[in-house]
Amino acid sequence: MMKPAFFSKYEWWYHLAMMPVCFALGNYYLLGERYFVHLPTFLTASSLAFVLYWSSVVILTIVIRRTAGSAAEGQILEQMLKMLWKLAAATVLLMVFDIWIYSLVPVLDVGFSWSKIWPLALVGLLCDAFIGALLGLFYALQQWKNDQADDEKLARQSLEVEFDALKGQVNPHFLFNSLNTLSSLISADPAQAEDFVEDLARIYRYMLQGGRTELVPLQSELSFLEVYVRLLKVRYHDALVVQLPERCPADLMIPPLMLQILLDNAVQYNVLSPSRPLRVVITLTDDRAVTVTNNVQMRHRTLGATGTGLRGLSAKLMTFTPRKLRIEESSEAFSVTIPLLPDAAPAQVPM
């Protein structure tokens, strides 16, 4: 991807318009009429002014961008004041350097003296106050636009996760497999078939109600997962082993269906058999997080196959907390740690 230009189109036009004015006024102040009537003096002074002008512009632009670009929300005024102080210091130093360079060129015959520096520095400071404020607001506006674009991108990713979760609520494969299992149970074990129907109804009720809630108690999510695992066990029997935490604090929250998505990913991408059962362990950590770990026995050797889904879960979490999803992957185990959130007293999702 091509990097953006150092100067914007408007900055180029501004500097191209200002160069003749600055060259004429600055050199007339230092050299008098010699600048206009003596060709060697004119060419030398103009060339030197060109180099010094663009060197100063680059330095001052970097000062403005680094200061204005680092402004956090609610700190624009503070950063603007810092930027103006930095510009003032840089301008005085650059003026001293410019006069010193002029004094080194014999044909210009300019002596180094502070009496020549201060008037130029004063004019430079006034220009800095105007241009610095203008460009500072411009860069702050650009930063705000970039932040808005990032927020919109994050919102889109979050909506994609919610859409995927919604599709999972009526996953045709899960429903088809559940109905097949139910069909075989009706004749073989009517009592278990009745329990299966009750669990299936509880799962879909939770999915539909939880899908309308941003956060649910972790205990509700684990209770839902316990019922969900019972249905999976009817199909996979000893090929699937899921271990849930025995205790769960009541003040921890989680976006709904996150644990189910991770469990489904583990089932989808790994081989399940009684001789090689898939083991999924869900544990609570001391730093208010929940970890989902499974042994790795991939159907196809494609590590990171669920990367897109995990990025979506991460984007969903970022709408609630700065803490990030932590993923650890090896040839033997795959684990995802989800940071939990404090209780915000949402409506309970019944199971």
11-20 residue pLDDT tens: 788 778 888 8
Q: What is the DSSP-derived secondary structure letter of residue 239?
A: G
pLDDT in the model for residue 74: 52
Q: Averaged over 13-30, what is the pLDDT?
A: 82
> Which tokens is 124 given?
């430079």
The dihedral through the CA atoms of 174, 179, 180, 185 has a sign that is positive
Q: Averaged over 126-133, what is the pLDDT?
A: 69
Compute the mean pLDDT over every residue in the chain, rounded to the nearest whole number. 79
- For residue 256, pLDDT beyond 50: yes
The CA distances from residue 243 to 218, 256, 268, 298, in Å, are 15, 19, 18, 20
184-208 residue pLDDT tens: 778 778 888 888 888 888 888 888 7
Cα–Cα distance, 124 to 87 (Å, whole number): 10
Distance of CA 136 to the CA centre of its chain: 23
Which structural domains are found in the chain, ordered by start?
9-150 (no CATH), 170-342 (3.30.565.10)
Cα–Cα distance, 316 to 281 (Å, whole number): 23
**Percentage of the residues of the chain whose pLDDT score is greater than 70:** 80
Q: Coil, helix or strand for 329?
A: strand
Inter-axis angle of helices 307-318 and 258-269, to 10 degrees? 170
The answer to pTM > 0.75 is no
Q: What is the DSSP-derived secondary structure letter of residue 300?
A: S
pLDDT in the model for residue 314: 81
Lowest mean pLDDT among 27-41, 124-138, 159-173: 159-173
Could you tell me the pLDDT band of residue 121, with boundaries at 50, 70 and 90? confident
